[in-house]
């Protein structure tokens, strides 16, 4: 039998060289991964954002990739939930009460100004309106009078005057894109709509739970229509199927939904219907703002709820929404990932004949 002599130094040298090789391989891998990380800013940014949000330093690997995919899906889901908050008739409570609550959640509203009401009684004055404007809130135009049955000259003046008035008080006329029709009762009035189209890109005109950006799907849907000071429950029935938001059919008759009949959910109608029961109204509000989710998929926005407010106070008048209820609704939007945009974030695509959201996360 041949005996092998034990050589401790040779064994040590072999182990040392193995360790050196392993260290070299690991070092090369770390350098390569570092270069990939630094040269790919998209991946780097996602990693840093994810680490920041999770408040942890994570290792690059399958778990991080999976987390990034989940993060993207969550962000896409959030971007699918949009809301527009409109405020009509410049009640002082919108400035004194609603504004601080909006500020608390970093929301901006769309305020529709009838110029002849400015400074009257419990209405906002020009200093209030300019403050809202300078703080980034959306200021748009509204008629002082009911537009139905006005003479052509009076109608022209009633529609054009608010934009001229707002411009004269320092607002950029290019941002005044939308006109609110008092009582929302001119959906089928081609005379009024043609006049509004002379001066504005869009109009708030009519009522529904959601505004469909392609103007389809309103057939036989419940709709709250206002006539004078009364709320009537009716059905929006379309005699002909619409495929987009064009204003007129080929035969010249007016369509049932278009960019001059953008529809709101009238909060005050529910305030009165439920006798100012905040629980019932809040539950209905939650249903309405979430009803968009079945239309908005994969980051594409097809429907948006426009929530219309007037007075934010505890007087329980016909235009009142309780202050605590308003705050609860804003908190719900904030806590549940809704993105609040303004009416000025909407635009109309002449090629596809549909409304769309500018600068959206889609």
Query: What is the pLDDT confidence band of residue 80, given thresholds at 50, 70 and 90?
Result: confident
Three-class SS state of 194: helix
Give the pair of three-digit tokens for residue 316.
């329980």
Residue 2 CB: number of other CB atoms within 10 A?
3
Distance CA 295, CA 208 (A): 15
Residue in the structure block whose two tokens are 């219907």: 273
Please compute the mean of the pLDDT values over residues 139-146 and round it to a whole number.
Answer: 95
Distance CA 326, CA 236 (A): 29
* Percent of the chain scoring above 70 in pLDDT: 71
Angle between helical axes of 323-335 and 278-290 (0-180°, round to 10): 30
Angle between helical axes of 8-39 and 41-54 (0-180°, round to 10): 100
- The reported pLDDT for the residue numbered 297 is 85
Q: Domains (ranges, CATH) in the chain?
A: 84-357 (3.20.20.370)
362 contacts 300 by C-beta, under 8 angstroms:
yes
Query: What is the pLDDT confidence band of residue 26, given thresholds at 50, 70 and 90?
Result: low
- The reported pLDDT for the residue numbered 74 is 45
pTM: 0.75
Please compute the mean of the pLDDT values over residues 150-176 and round it to a whole number.
Answer: 96
Residue 41 CB: number of other CB atoms within 10 A?
9
Query: What is the pLDDT confidence band of residue 22, given thresholds at 50, 70 and 90?
Result: low
Residues 6+ apart with CB under 8 A from 83: 289, 304, 305, 306, 307, 333, 338, 339, 340, 341
pLDDT per residue as tens digits for the range 128-140: 999 999 999 999 9
Element housing 179 (H / E): strand 178-180
Query: What is the pLDDT confidence band of residue 241, given thresholds at 50, 70 and 90?
Result: confident
Distance CA 7, CA 135 (A): 82
- The reported pLDDT for the residue numbered 79 is 64
Residues 6+ apart with CB under 8 A from 332: 282, 285, 286, 289
Distance CA 36, CA 322 (A): 56
pLDDT per residue as tens digits for the range 279-288: 999 999 999 9
pLDDT per residue as tens digits for the range 175-230: 999 999 999 999 999 999 999 999 999 999 999 999 999 998 875 444 444 333 33
Tell me the C-alpha to C-alpha distance, in Å, between residue 214 and each of 48, 53, 202, 219, 262. Answer: 38, 36, 14, 13, 11
Residue 167 CB: number of other CB atoms within 10 A?
15
Residue 308's nearest CA partner among 193, 198, 183 is 183
Query: What is the pLDDT confidence band of residue 362, given thresholds at 50, 70 and 90?
Result: very low
Does the structure show a pLDDT above 80 at 54?
Answer: no
Roughly how many angstroms between the first and final C-alpha of the chain, as a whole number? 80
Angle between helical axes of 190-199 and 152-168 (0-180°, round to 10): 30
Distance CA 322, CA 280 (A): 13
């Amino acid at each position: 039998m041949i005996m092998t002599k034990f050589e401790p130094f040779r064994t040590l040298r072999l182990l040392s060289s193995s360790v050196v090789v392993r260290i070299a391989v690991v070092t090369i891998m770390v350098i390569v991964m570092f270069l990939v990380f630094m040269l790919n800013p998209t991946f780097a940014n996602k990693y840093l954002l994810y680490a920041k949000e999770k408040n942890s330093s994570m290792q690059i690997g399958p778990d991080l990739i999976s987390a990034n995919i989940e993060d993207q899906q969550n962000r896409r889901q959030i971007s699918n939930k949009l809301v527009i908050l409109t405020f009509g008739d410049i009640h002082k409570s919108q400035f004194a009460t609603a504004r601080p609550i909006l500020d608390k959640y970093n929301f901006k509203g769309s305020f529709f100004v009838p110029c002849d009401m400015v400074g009257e009684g419990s209405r906002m004055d020009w200093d209030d309106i300019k403050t809202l404007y300078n703080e980034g809130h959306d200021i748009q135009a509204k008629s002082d009078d009911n537009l139905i049955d006005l003479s052509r000259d009076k109608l022209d003046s009633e529609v054009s005057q608010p934009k001229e008035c707002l411009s004269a008080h320092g607002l950029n006329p290019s941002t005044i894109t939308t006109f609110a029709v008092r009582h929302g009762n001119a959906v089928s009035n081609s005379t009024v709509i043609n006049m509004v189209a002379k001066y504005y890109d869009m109009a708030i005109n009519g009522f529904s739970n959601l505004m469909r950006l392609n103007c389809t799907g309103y057939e036989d849907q419940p709709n709250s229509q206002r006539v004078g000071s009364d709320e009537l429950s009716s059905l929006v029935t379309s005699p002909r199927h619409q495929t987009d938001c064009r204003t007129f059919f080929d035969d010249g008759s007016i369509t049932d939904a278009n960019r001059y009949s953008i529809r709101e959910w009238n909060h005050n109608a529910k305030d009165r219907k439920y006798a100012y029961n905040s629980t019932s109204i809040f539950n209905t509000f939650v249903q309405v703002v979430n009803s968009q989710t079945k239309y908005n998929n994969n980051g594409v926005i097809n429907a948006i709820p426009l929530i219309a407010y007037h007075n934010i106070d505890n007087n329980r008048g016909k235009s009142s929404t309780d202050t605590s209820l308003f705050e609860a609704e804003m908190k719900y939007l904030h806590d549940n990932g809704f993105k609040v945009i303004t009416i000025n974030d909407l635009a109309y695509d002449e090629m596809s004949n549909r409304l769309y959201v500018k600068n959206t996360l889609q």
